[in-house]
Amino acid sequence: MRLTSFTDFGLRMLMRMAADPSRAISTAELAEALCLSRNHLAKIIQHLARAGLIETRRGGGGGAVLARPAAEIRLGQVIRLLEEGQPLVECFGADGGACSIDTRCRLKARLRSAEAAFLMDLDRSTLADIALPPLPKNLVVSQ
Amino acid sequence: MRLTSFTDFGLRMLMRMAADPSRAISTAELAEALCLSRNHLAKIIQHLARAGLIETRRGGGGGAVLARPAAEIRLGQVIRLLEEGQPLVECFGADGGACSIDTRCRLKARLRSAEAAFLMDLDRSTLADIALPPLPKNLVVSQ
DNA sequence: TTGAATAGGTATTTACAATACCCATTAGCA
DNA sequence: TGCTAATGGGTATTGTAAATACCTATTCAA
């Protein structure tokens, strides 16, 4: 069972934004903080923005801000979003009709149930619960 | 969130064995039934056998049989086994110590909890619950 | 003792996540 | 009204690990 690094990084970005919700953070700043390419990170930002989780502003002084209070953003929601289009097993995918077992398969329902349990458990927490405590300015983060 | 095809096929193989638990099924037969390469499938068999879930016998008339009654094999158990060594996120892996957030990370615990919820939900079912009903001999499975 | 089957290592292929690059667009500011 | 800083978004490339294939040794039954 594996989440994509897309999701992994998305979560870390949100954790950082939640630590200082009033400030707009640029992709460049986030990329440096997470030791990640700015371009890749920008893709995740765009995805989150399109989903309405964050708001972005272009131009000087621009960047990304949480669209809602961190306490109103549930973790399950975030992961559902970032993992969307990633099927748990092949036959859950868009074209997953080639299964020879098909209708007689009693496994599918149980996998779906377990997936729901996974997400529901995460929904018990919000972004506010995992926000990064802001670092003291003089503390250097070792890479 | 994704399971490997290794796990996917492993489950399907077990479903089939559970449908006819007294019979030893050869890898060749299973491979044909699942439209899968015999070699690849053999790897999964070996893994399951080493874990004690099934027993294999070489020589003529050999094959694989469930080592325990299907009703005693829980699905969570199977998936834990087949997915072993597959970390949910990078920092859960063996060398996942390079995280800049590290000790201040309050996400890890929640992910672990959700993963446990996923497996516990699956543990509510056993192999017997998802055993394939045996196909009538005259019915051809379309590929 | 022969043939059918698993055991298991190694090599190869392939798919896709991850990354990099480029240019358009937008907004603030002097 | 330019200039600069920032995102938007497409496309191309790379890298890695899963998936597959192949080969040979070993084991067992008849």
SS (H, E, C) chain A: CECCHHHHHHHHHHHHHHHCCCCCECHHHHHHHHCCCHHHHHHHHHHHHHCCCEEEECCCCCEEEECCCHHHCEHHHHHHHHCCCCCCCHHHCCCCCCCCCHHHCCHHHHHHHHHHHHHHHHHCCEHHHHCCCCCCCCCCCCC
Helix (H, G, I), strand (E, B) or coil at B114: helix
Partner residues linked to B66 by β-bridges: B54
CA B104 / C1′ D9 distance in Å: 34
Return d(Cα B16, Cα A95) in angstroms, integer: 23
Give the range among A96-105, A123-132, B10-19, B39-48 with minimum mean pLDDT.
Answer: A96-105
Which residues does B103 contact at the CB level (< 8 Å), separation at least 6? none
Out of B100, B107, B132, name the one closest to residue A35 (CB).
Answer: B100
Out of B1, B107, B125, name the one closest to residue A115 (CB).
Answer: B1
Helix (H, G, I), strand (E, B) or coil at B63: strand
Q: Which fold has domain A5-130?
A: Arc Repressor Mutant, subunit A (1.10.10)
Place A128 in a pLDDT band, splitting at 50, 70 and 90: very high
Assess: ipTM above 0.90. no
Predicted confidence at residue A126, as pLDDT, reads 96
Nearest CA to the C1' of C5 belongs to which residue? B59
The rounded mean pLDDT for chain A is 84
Return d(Cα A5, Cα A36) in angstroms, integer: 11
Contact A1/B115, CB-based, under 8 Å?
yes
Joined together, the tokens standing for residue A80 give 């559902």
Predicted confidence at residue A142, as pLDDT, reads 41
Q: Which backbone phi and psi does A26 adopt, to 5 degrees?
A: -80, 155
Question: Is the C-beta of residue A48 closer than 7 Å to nucleic acid chain D?
Answer: no
Predicted confidence at residue A137, as pLDDT, reads 47
Its sign, for the CA torsion B93, B96, B100, B106, is positive
| Residue A133: closest C-alpha in chain B | B104
CA triple B32-B37-B40, angle to 5 deg:
130
The rounded mean pLDDT for chain B is 83
Which range is most confident: A21-25, A133-137, B29-33? A21-25
Q: Is the per-residue pLDDT at B71 higher than 90? A: yes
Place B42 in a pLDDT band, splitting at 50, 70 and 90: confident
- In the block, tokens 């993963």 appear at B115
Q: Name the nucleotide nearest A4; use CA and C1'.
A: C17
Q: DSSP assignment, residue B57?
A: E
Of the two residues B135 and B37, the one the predictor is more confident about is B37
| Residue A16: closest C-alpha in chain B | B101
Predicted confidence at residue B94, as pLDDT, reads 65
Which residue, among B115, B15, B143, has the nearest Cα to A75 in the 3D structure? B115
Partner residues linked to A126 by β-bridges: A74
The CA distance from A56 to the nearest CA of chain B, in Å, is 24
Predicted confidence at residue B137, as pLDDT, reads 47
Say how far residue B106 (Cα) sits from the centre of its chain.
31
Of the two residues B59 and B135, the one the predictor is more confident about is B59
Predicted confidence at residue A140, as pLDDT, reads 45
Question: Is the C-beta of residue A7 closer than 7 Å to nucleic acid chain D?
Answer: no
Place B131 in a pLDDT band, splitting at 50, 70 and 90: very high
Place A138 in a pLDDT band, splitting at 50, 70 and 90: very low
Q: How many CB atoms lie within 10 A of CB A25?
A: 19
Question: Is the C-beta of residue A60 closer than 7 Å to nucleic acid chain D?
Answer: yes
